[in-house]
């Protein structure tokens, strides 16, 4: 019976190659960045909608002055 080396046994196992691990890590970083960006956008939209409901949309949250329409 032929014995298979550890490196040969690892072939075909997803993520077992260092290049695959690096690629997977980079892809996870991209997905995390996109997820964070989308979360921030959704939060900003929800905040704007809440301010519209409260009647405070169009007022600067820092100085309280009215923001002119474009």
Q: What distance in Å separates the CA atoms of residue 24 and residue 54, rounded to the nearest whole number?
A: 45
Q: What distance in Å separates the CA atoms of residue 68 and residue 63, rounded to the nearest whole number?
A: 14
**In this structure, what token pair is assigned to residue 24?**
């997977």
Q: What is the pLDDT of residues 24-35, one digit of tens each?
A: 888 999 999 999
- C-beta separation of 49 from 58 below 8 A: no
Which range among 9-18, 41-50, 59-68 shows the weakest confidence by mean pLDDT?
A: 9-18
Task: Please report the pLDDT score of residue 5 as a whole number.
Answer: 52
**Helix/strand/coil for 56:** coil
Mean pLDDT score, 28-57: 96
pLDDT-above-70 percentage for the chain: 77
- Residue 47: which pLDDT band, with cuts at 50, 70 and 90? very high
């Amino acid at each position: 019976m032929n014995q298979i080396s550890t490196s040969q046994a690892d072939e075909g196992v997803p993520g077992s190659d260092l290049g695959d691990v690096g690629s997977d890590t980079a892809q996870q970083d991209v997905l995390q960045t996109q997820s964070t960006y989308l979360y921030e956008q959704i939060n900003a939209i929800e905040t704007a909608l809440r301010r519209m409901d409260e009647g405070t949309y169009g007022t600067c949250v820092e100085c309280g002055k009215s923001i002119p329409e474009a």
